[in-house]
Amino acid sequence: MGGSQQQFDQLRLIRSPNIGPVSYRQLIGRFGSATAALEALPDLVRRGGGTRPALLADEAGVARELQFAQKFGARHIFIGDAEYPSLLSHLDNAPPVMCVKGDFGLLNRVAISLVGARNASAGACQFARQLAYDLGQMEFPIVSGLARGIDTAAHAGSIDSGTIAVIAGGIDVVYPPENRALQDAISERGLLIAEQPPGTEPRARHFPYRNRIIAGISAGTVVVEAAPKSGSLITARLAGEAGREVMAIPGSPLDPRSRGCNQLIREGATLVQNADEIAELVRPLDHRMRAAPARYVPSAPATIAEDTNDERRAVIDLMGMTYVSVDELVRQSGSSQANVQMVLLEMELAGKLERGAGGKVRFAA
């Protein structure tokens, strides 16, 4: 199969309803290719209890997306491609596809993310800009989310040395509007990354997905200034869960915008005060960048025969509206890991299952 047809089928699979990062990974692992997975979908949906035929992404829409990216000067990179960032590929919910524009070489370097408050103080923004510049001089690309405040300062400080902006909407959508010139500059001199299809306006639900890319693509995450329960703390938590270095700049206890960083330090994040301290922490992790990216080796197709529906029913009966771990379903059902995963995959494709944090599952609301 030619590369273009393979990309088309991969993108069509990803853009089809009820297929997320986990189900995409499982489908490629079980069937070996997006083409084979697309052919198998109708039967999988039927087994999962779907009452309607399997819906596949519109072929014309997929073609338009690929054509638009090409005209826009962007391209799609898929998990499993040589250009796909190795560190990111090892996340359980790594994005199956990203639309990227700019310097792809930045993806092969050890990067550090700088994140923080949108309503950051002037002093914190100045500090973040200088910190990004200093790290850039040490040849670390800086990753951030192109939001107001700390993110904007981080990109501004590293625009000449290497900056990566992960945005919540489509590759062609500018948000916030005042960052148009900066976003254009990053797409020309740095790297712009978007998981959502072109034309997608950013919504609240998109930002946690963006944050996992920021954390997953970086060897370490530094929080410069953040209020409690802010998005920056979500990024830090995701970085910690992925086994990356989590660092925070301490601040005055009198400033509410410093409480998030101080809280992170209390919970175990490393207190850092300058670029040298950050580099010292991250450099021992450099070898991870040389590790082989996660690959999806096709396994023997695990399907549950029609005459073993008791096994399927045992798994379904254990589920409810509260999230439960897959390991717990395996333990209590007495079924194999492969068969439980297959039942869950079929249910998800039929729209009857939701996946939550930590790989837990529940019935779809």
Tell me whether residue 243 is in a domain.
yes
Contact 223, 247 (CB under 8 A): yes
How far from 105 is each of 7, 28, 141, 158, 245, CA to CA, in Å? Answer: 21, 27, 10, 15, 23
The values of phi and psi at residue 172, to 5°, are: -100, 0
Q: Are residues 21 and 60 in the same domain?
A: yes
What is the domain extent for residue 137? 109-190+197-290
**pLDDT value, residue 304:** 47
What is the distance between the alpha carbons of residues 20 and 163, in angstroms, rounded to a whole number?
28
Q: Are residues 286 and 321 in the same domain?
A: no
**pLDDT value, residue 307:** 40
**pLDDT value, residue 316:** 87
Q: Are residues 183 and 309 in the same domain?
A: no
Q: Are residues 41 and 133 in the same domain?
A: no
Concatenated DSSP letters of 41-74 = HHHHHHHTT-SSPPP---HHHHHHHHHHHHHHT-
Contact 354, 363 (CB under 8 A): yes
How far from 138 is each of 20, 88, 126, 156, 335, CA to CA, in Å? Answer: 37, 22, 19, 16, 52
**pLDDT value, residue 351:** 86
Residue ranges of the chain whose pLDDT lies below 70: 1-3, 51, 53-54, 285-308
pTM attached to this predicted model: 0.88
Number of domains forming the structure of the chain? 2
Q: Are residues 308 and 180 in the same domain?
A: no
299's tokens: 């396994």
